[in-house]
Amino acid sequence: MHSGDCFINNTISNTSIPESICRLCPQIIPYEAIAYVYLTLAIVGFLTNGLALYDLWRAEKTTTVTFVVNIVASDLMLCCSLPFRVAYYWHSAQWAQESSMCTLAKFTTISLFYINLYCNMLFLLWTSVNRYVSVVRPKLPLLRLFKRARVCRLLCAFTWVAAIVVIIGTISRNIAKNKTVAANCFDHIVNANRHRYNTTHVIGVTVFFLILVLMLAFYALLVYHLHLIQRSSLVGRGQRGSLKVRRKILASVVLFVACFLPYHLERILLLTSDTGDCRWQETQYKVKNCTILLAALSCCLHPLLHLALRSRCCRARAETHGRAANSCTDAGHTVTHANISLSAILDAPPGEGWDSRGHQPDRGGGQLAGCLAP
């Protein structure tokens, strides 16, 4: 890598209006440090996602598990791209712009990053809808489809195909249009032809905030419904089960926001910034690298959260099973062990929703169907 900062501010006038050109070159210390961070993420990501996949393989095959398996698969895909990103940071200053290694590294890291980013967000949205339907609206015809295993598998397949086709097509088209001449693979003009990407950035930001709003809405309605169950329960211990579910939901939402929101806020800054201010473009490029790193961190945090929540449930499972018998009595509307299945019902089979009194309309007794997946 080059040592020091190669930052050039030129002015050209191919048209009647002079245009400021901002060219960035790599800095040896920060970019080599980032490369080691990505290498660590790749190793940890492969290990944790492998453990999560093994745990899911042993778990009951519910619709929620279907979505979580696809999240793990998406994270593993991102882990596979991280070695290419490491190689890019280490060697791109020596690669020629038109070399096969430069093209492979750029295409692999960019395409797999965006496929993982938007597939993960959609799978997390489908999971929130699935949990909402399981508890609040089990009889609603349209949303009830989210509790059917075949429909969920088809939805996941459609999500993969749509994301891959749109993202690969967009990246390929942008690469074909980008004729900027650079000294090496890393060296690039950060504001050349930037207007061509504005539509792509606007669509990406819009999709993110739409998913975020929908996911928050479904989880808010779910938490409110659990609050009604807790308030109408005659047993104080029901608060503990409701609190556990709320913590799991909060953890999922916080992870989503912490990993994905900074990147899309940076996209908004990119759309509104002055392309001729090269110092600002340099700062923004560094911010972009940090937000991409945060988004990539999700490939480790997702499986770690899943394993942490599963391990807590497993430690309490023996005690919980011992208290599971005769959990509900419809005659007196009394919940004797309200804390045993608030998290379990979110993975229950189709039709096993719970009403605001903590009762199961379709089946008389409580059923432990596993823990709430992250």
Residue 334: strand pairing partners: 329
Residue 16, pLDDT score: 41
Banded model confidence at residue 356, pLDDT cuts 50, 70, 90: very low
CA 68/CA 52 separation, integer angstroms: 9
Report whether 75 contacts 121 (CB < 8 A). no
Residue 32, pLDDT score: 83
* Distance of alpha carbon 135 from the chain centroid: 23
Say which amino acid occupies 234: L
Who wins on pLDDT, 82 or 61?
82
Element containing residue 167 per DSSP (H, E): helix 149-177
CA 280/CA 274 separation, integer angstroms: 8
Residue 28, pLDDT score: 64
Question: Does 370 have pLDDT greater than 50?
Answer: no
Who wins on pLDDT, 96 or 305?
305
Q: Is 351 left (phi over 0), alpha (psi -120 to 50) or beta?
A: left
Residue 360, pLDDT score: 46
Of the candidates 234, 292, 242, 241, the residue with the CA atom closest to the CA atom of residue 262: 292
Residue 30, pLDDT score: 77
Which residue matches tokens 């993969």? 160
Who wins on pLDDT, 92 or 170?
170
Helix, coil or strand: residue 221: helix
Banded model confidence at residue 182, pLDDT cuts 50, 70, 90: low
In angstroms, what CA-CA distances link 64 with 121, 123, 205, 359?
Answer: 15, 10, 26, 21
Mean pLDDT of the chain: 76
CA 74/CA 159 separation, integer angstroms: 11
Banded model confidence at residue 284, pLDDT cuts 50, 70, 90: confident
Question: Does 323 have pLDDT greater than 80?
Answer: no
Question: Does 283 have pLDDT greater than 60?
Answer: yes
CA 128/CA 112 separation, integer angstroms: 24
CA 342/CA 368 separation, integer angstroms: 9
Please provide the size of the chain in residues: 374
Question: Does 17 have pLDDT greater than 60?
Answer: no
Residue 332, pLDDT score: 33
Average of per-residue pLDDT across 197-221: 93
Say which amino acid occupies 15: T
Average of per-residue pLDDT across 75-96: 89
Least reliable range by pLDDT among 190-204, 280-294, 306-320? 306-320
Which residue ranges form the domains of the chain, and what is each CATH number?
Answer: 7-11+19-347 (1.20.1070.10)
pLDDT above 70 covers a percentage of the chain that reads: 68
Residue 170, pLDDT score: 86
